[in-house]
Structure 1
């Protein structure tokens, strides 16, 4: 029996499927953009139900976020915490549910920052209502911390030590030459000026909060207390943590301290991806907007060599409702084909 992928293959090319284990990846803060996945709302029932379940738990705040998400003229910008946090979580979570509905067993989850939190809810570590409660408490507390942000720099972590200090730290290691710096607004602007003067390539991420830096230390004790009231559980599906680079252990999953410190801890996405792809051949599917993790994963030797593969589910930017639908449906076909679930029929 022969099979054929639906993307990037000549219509008459026939190949046998590589039965790679499916790993679903979830992007974090910085991946959000206006009307991300909005074209699926009301048209993909599983997605719609999951997004609405998240936003309904937030009451009027969730309703306002949904209205801005679906509007061409939102009242709040997408990089505001009251929009970015709940909507990115909702889209990540809903895309995860949609992929699950395709009937292929998920072998593991891998999330980046907020994406790990969404993955934990899908894996059963958090009840959805508790995850949303914790998310909104963090949003509330972030309003009391100094303004700041993050810079994505085209450089290795070791090259940036001279730019660190005054609250600016490495917030994420995304690839061998893709490092995120995070910190308070004033010092971060000074770092941006220094990077520009030195001819380094960087961009400001769409966030007003210095995630994964000491600036968010005040969130830790308050959220640890809240987490202590929640019934945390070991994941029912393996979850690779981008904070430890390892599969989440049961003791970590049920530890309030483990989850409470995440806003201040660096995201080690690339070392974690190396572990995921080093274990076996994988089919990576990005469940979220922007295709940022897809771009990173395509640079990994295992993907470049064809041993593993990566499939985005959403367009890289807002291209309209029909583009959202086309992208998701093409991704479904490709995932099913690559997993051997679809038999190609020769024309």
Structure 2
């Protein structure tokens, strides 16, 4: 079989581009910080996002601000807390998306995972950055006081897990055919994790101290509809493939406050959404966020394995020195827009 992803060195990949924007679990200390102050489009966008997030008041109970914790923090426990992971992921995803747009790339679709869908909504023109920041600030403030919880990834299908789940531990994300994320309060999640390991399943913790995408957060999100209802909503100018419905986000859905307020309570259907995104078309999937978690998931998809579609992560797979961020972005730019890589890092 011919690998249609192959191309001559230096030649552009002419397939349409879709952006993948990751969410909870992809964060790490100083994620994408190597681009700050070096890549102007990214720097301007992330600074604007952080300013918008803090314009509504402090996030959490720490005195340090978001910029300080992002650029100079080295405590992964701090970064995994909802008051840092969610706003910083939103800001970094948004800024990387703006960086790609600054190269002249016009994505044909956006697919966000968890908080990545809110960043996608800004890039698509559904929310202004200021209004999306208000949504994120309100969500984070509510969830900051939720009881301690967590998430785990299990190498198993929904069918395999169904007999072993119940009570306060639920499916939080369907990431691949045999990768399912579970969430719940800390005690029940520990018990379920032990049950699964005893049954022979491989279970890995997800970097989260909150039970995202589970009904146990319902009380914390009470009243969020009212705040979201005050935000103006526009029609998407770039199609958004929703990770919550696994179908294109409609204007009516985007204008429904409950669609956004329910997101912390409902599972992310990443694999079904990716199936829908790649149905009948060949794409270059560009991961605009920290790490390469969504890239790894996308590479398992038959459309990518066959070479019909391709995956290009913007950032390194693991944390590293600042130079690694810039080198990775430069390499990514070269793959689909020759000449773009020469603009990266130029002030």
In 1: Cα distance, 2:76 partner to 2:196 partner: 34
- Please report how far the alpha carbon of residue 233 of structure 1 lies from its aligned counterpart in structure 2 after TM superposition: 1.5
- Please report how far the alpha carbon of residue 82 of structure 1 lies from its aligned counterpart in structure 2 after TM superposition: 1.4
Corresponding position of 2:337:
336
Q: 1:336 to 1:183 in 2, by over 3 A?
A: same
Answer yes or no: is 1:252 the counterpart of 2:247.
no
Q: 1:16 to 1:184 in 2, by over 3 A?
A: same
Q: Where in structure 2 are the equivalents of 1:191-210 lying within 5 Å? A: 191-210=192-211
Answer yes or no: is 1:281 the counterpart of 2:282.
yes
In 2: Cα distance, 1:72 partner to 1:341 partner: 31
Q: 1:15 to 1:301 in 2, by over 3 A?
A: farther
SS of the equivalent of 2:69 reads helix
Corresponding position of 1:147:
148
Which 5+ residue runs of structure 2 have no aligned equivalent? 342-347
Corresponding position of 1:20:
15
Residue pair 2:333, 2:340 contacting (<8 A) in 1 also: no
Which stretch has the larger CA shift, 131-140 or 174-183?
A: 131-140
Q: 1:17 to 1:168 in 2, by over 3 A?
A: same
- Please report how far the alpha carbon of residue 144 of structure 1 lies from its aligned counterpart in structure 2 after TM superposition: 2.9
Residue pair 1:147, 1:210 contacting (<8 A) in 2 also: yes
Residue pair 1:241, 1:248 contacting (<8 A) in 2 also: yes
Residue pair 2:20, 2:286 contacting (<8 A) in 1 also: yes
Q: 1:300 to 1:254 in 2, by over 3 A?
A: same
Corresponding position of 2:229:
228
- Please report how far the alpha carbon of residue 17 of structure 1 lies from its aligned counterpart in structure 2 after TM superposition: 5.6
Corresponding position of 2:166:
165
CA offsets, 1:181-209, max 9 Å, x none? 11111100001111121221111111111
Residue pair 1:152, 1:203 contacting (<8 A) in 2 also: yes
In 1: Cα distance, 2:213 partner to 2:38 partner: 36
- Please report how far the alpha carbon of residue 310 of structure 1 lies from its aligned counterpart in structure 2 after TM superposition: 0.7
Q: Which runs of 4+ in 1 moved over 3 A?
A: 13-18, 59-63, 72-76
Number of matched pairs = 332
In 2: Cα distance, 1:80 partner to 1:88 partner: 12
Corresponding position of 2:34:
39
TM-score by length of 1: 0.91
Corresponding position of 1:78:
79
Answer yes or no: is 1:130 the counterpart of 2:131.
yes
- Please report how far the alpha carbon of residue 61 of structure 1 lies from its aligned counterpart in structure 2 after TM superposition: 3.7
Residue pair 1:67, 1:74 contacting (<8 A) in 2 also: no
Answer yes or no: is 1:326 the counterpart of 2:327.
yes
Residue pair 2:30, 2:74 contacting (<8 A) in 1 also: no
TM-score by length of 2: 0.91
Residue pair 1:68, 1:76 contacting (<8 A) in 2 also: no
- Please report how far the alpha carbon of residue 279 of structure 1 lies from its aligned counterpart in structure 2 after TM superposition: 2.7
User: CA-atom RMSD, angstroms?
Assistant: 2.2
Which 5+ residue runs of structure 1 have no aligned equivalent? 343-347
